[in-house]
Structure 1
């Protein structure tokens, strides 16, 4: 396992929870996916931004708070994540290489943004939430959920609090980003990233074989090469290469995009299974304040990037929004933004946070004589 496995699902379940019978576990997963599908359809019907992800997130978060017997479809994630990488790679074009020069400012400002965003988030968890310094520090880091939870627990922090903080952050960030795009920037979307429906039979058998190989080989090769976020990034690279070379020229079927969003939204919502209502309410409140602070900083930095480099404000904002890689990349796809730009910036963000957080923490401990 590499340190970049940040996007695996982590449930906030009590350590003493008993193992469930296979039939019971399957029925709980099926219930969670059913709730996700129903709420996705409902969100689409009422015109909610990014309905196929927000709907399942909201539905399963409510189900978890109501103690309904739902369980995350964790077994689907190893299959869905490489498929997401393949879908993201379909948006890579040869023209992207001509835009690399305009990304320099985004890369240079990224560490400064992370320091500002994490600093404000730390103040929220420490001063307002009353978290101990270690838990507040690792809860505030906009990195991978699993990595921050493990590093925080190793440093003596509250593992459960850190896990809930990051689960709540991802939930809140995705919700606010979708609303920001729809209500502030006026970017509308049907939630699939395609203006027209792409049927399953719009792709030939050879296309399916090539893209399937990109998913399998990309995920396996990415792990062997220790690429950051390998299950997404490996398939993305191979899929992008096949599209640039013209081996595949069609967009992914719309049903695949919808299914991926429903699965991810369901997993995010069910992360709160096992937590008490008081914990969920408290962590959502703190995560809302923390996420709003980070998103306000993201808007400010995005404005600078947009003015200085000509990159659209919407894309710069999405690249700096502190959500998960798979989730934010899906947002880029659904909102028809530059997938390559957004995905690469999030890969670098997570890499920087995971690499730098323990080092900065050690320096802070030493400076305080602890």
Structure 2
């Protein structure tokens, strides 16, 4: 089979896994089933050796659509929390610093690995950045990637279950916030076009997840301006959520069971440490921003920006706060990781 045929077969497989996983999770009554079901089923398929690969351009388009859906849930009332964010961000910064410093020591003991690899494995986010930096440093990044993937999957699964145990209804889609109406096809097309125009501008900046953020900015702008009455149609939002779930599962493609066993303990221990610190910081920050503690926890959780933003939208959290907190965490890591790398007495490679 040629490359095109293999890619097409992989895409068909992802569609089937996403559909079966979604329907199964809905039938079982799992929280955020359109995200959880595909994530679990695709992870299992990847570990079984199925050659699953999510097309890069499709991934970017999915993120853009998710951003529009999330941004369209922003209301004028949610913007009022802006004046309280600086103190919350300070708490988040302290939590991230502790996640990295304590997590590095944990990784060195449990993986075991050198201090630089341990630092990259402990980073609570910014997977593409830490992997690229590890490659430049000549480190063995496979273990780092597996540990980071375990963190992403664990938080994707645990946060919705924690929300469900707290008695908060999550529903199944991206439009669970108080959005009564849905965009027309023309409005949706215009939003997509505007987001596609904005995305290249954001790509020239150090802002992470530019496709998602471009969609969020456009979605929030048209909702706050009154140009559109609500969010994306469920016929679009639901498949987008399932696609994000399958994308998470494909991160385990090519990982052997032996590699998984070696890194599982370190990954779960690091995730537990980071999650505990996030809980403490969220508990203090909830009173500052005057939001439910679980809403702040989704914003402070060291999971993927796209995934946590989707979960935040599903539980009705302030989408602007969730996105801003995750962007702040990733930007902080962009500065913190090189500084800590230098403290290991190992020179950083020249920029490429």
When normalised by structure 1's length, the TM-score is 0.87
Task: Tell me the residue number matched to 2:320.
Answer: 340
Task: Tell me the residue number matched to 2:350.
Answer: none
Task: Tell me the residue number matched to 2:290.
Answer: 310
Aligned equivalents of 2:144, 2:304: Cα separation in 1: 15
**C-alpha distance after superposition, 1:51-106 (max 9, x if no partner):** 11111111011112222343334341121111111112102222233211222221
CA, structure 1 residues 337+49, in 2 after alignment: closer, same or farther (shift >3 Å)? Answer: same
- Deviation of residue 343 (structure 1)? 0.6
Residues 125-134 or 206-215, more deviating: 206-215
Aligned equivalents of 2:102, 2:66: Cα separation in 1: 32
Match of 1:173 among 148, 155, 162: 155
Task: Tell me the residue number matched to 2:19.
Answer: 37
Q: Which portions of structure 1, spanning 4 or more consecutive aligned residues, are displaced by more than 3 angstroms?
A: 193-199, 224-228
- Deviation of residue 194 (structure 1)? 3.8
Aligned residue pair count: 347
Could you tell me which runs of 5 or more consecutive residues in structure 1 were left unpaired when the two chains were aligned: 1-18
Task: Tell me the residue number matched to 1:188.
Answer: 169
Secondary structure of the corresponding residue to residue 148 of structure 2: helix
Could you tell me which runs of 5 or more consecutive residues in structure 2 were left unpaired when the two chains were aligned: 348-352
Aligned equivalents of 1:340, 1:299: Cα separation in 2: 20
Aligned equivalents of 1:243, 1:193: Cα separation in 2: 15
Q: How does 1:127-142 map to 2 (within 5 A)?
A: 127-142=109-124
Aligned equivalents of 1:205, 1:143: Cα separation in 2: 35
Secondary structure of the corresponding residue to residue 343 of structure 2: helix
Aligned equivalents of 1:293, 1:227: Cα separation in 2: 26
CA, structure 1 residues 197+68, in 2 after alignment: closer, same or farther (shift >3 Å)? Answer: farther
Task: Tell me the residue number matched to 1:253.
Answer: 233
Secondary structure of the corresponding residue to residue 54 of structure 2: coil
CA, structure 1 residues 38+223, in 2 after alignment: closer, same or farther (shift >3 Å)? Answer: same
Q: How does 1:1-370 map to 2 (within 5 A)?
A: 21-183=3-165, 185-194=166-175, 202-224=182-204, 227-365=207-345
Kept after mapping to 2: 8 A contact 1:93/1:243: yes
When normalised by structure 2's length, the TM-score is 0.91
